[in-house]
Amino acid sequence: MSLYDIIFYLFASITVLSAFFVVTTRNIVYSAFYLLLTFFGVAGIYVLLGADFIAVTQLVVYVGGILILLLFGVMLTNKITNVQIKTGTVKLAPAAIGVALLAGTLFAGLLNTNWKTFNSEVPVSTAHTLGLILLTQYGVVFELLGILLLIALIGAASMARK
């Protein structure tokens, strides 16, 4: 087993285990912190796949932005002083069976598919190429997403202020 494989198994186990704890822990604040671990694990997997810029974006946007937003959501909607922070669950057993079936189907599908893979070259730094593609080939999409983000932030602020 090479070093690459060992690091992959490390990050994969971090990701899957912490994702499992996210959906099973009853305390919602613990869930948020396990979600932090999941995002870190996914960022590590991106690095292993040669996507260094996406990994950094994942850390900045998910860990620095979305997770903080989620924690604010938790704190603003739970009565912290009344220790009402535990959350309930509904219909655990049928959901577990259904999700296990779904996962089994997907896994069998991916094992039985004959993926045509190309052995890619040694990973290079992607930031330069991604920047060029974003502002030339995908320029319109890039601008539209900027406008979408602006609209979403203004809308969210005005909705939350009411």
Element (H, E) at 70: helix 67-77
Choice from 81, 82, 83, 90 touching another protein (CB under 8 A): 90
Residues whose CB falls within 8 Å of the CB of residue 59, separated by 6 or more in sequence, listed in order:
39, 40, 43
Shortest CB 7 distance to another protein, Å: 9
Can residue 37 be called a binding residue for another protein (CB under 8 A)?
no
Cα dihedral 19→25→28→34 (10° resolution) = -30
- Within residues 126-145, the interface with another protein by CB under 8 A covers 126, 129-130, 133-134, 138, 141, 145
18: nearest Cα among 39, 1, 3, 2: 39
- Report the half-sphere exposure of 140 (CA within 13 A, side-chain side): 1
Q: Which two tokens stand for residue 108?
A: 């069998």
Footprint on residues 108-127 left by another protein (CB under 8 A)? 110-111, 115-118, 120, 126
Q: Which of 81, 82, 83, 91 binds another protein (CB under 8 A)?
A: 91
What track of x and - describes contact with another protein for positions 2 through 31 (by CB under 8 A)?
A: --xx--xx--x--xx--xx-xx----x--x
* Token pair recorded at residue 26: 């009853």
Give min distance, CB of 123 to another protein, in A. Answer: 8
Q: Does 39 bind another protein (CB under 8 A)?
A: yes
- Minimum CB separation of residue 98 from another protein in Å reads 8
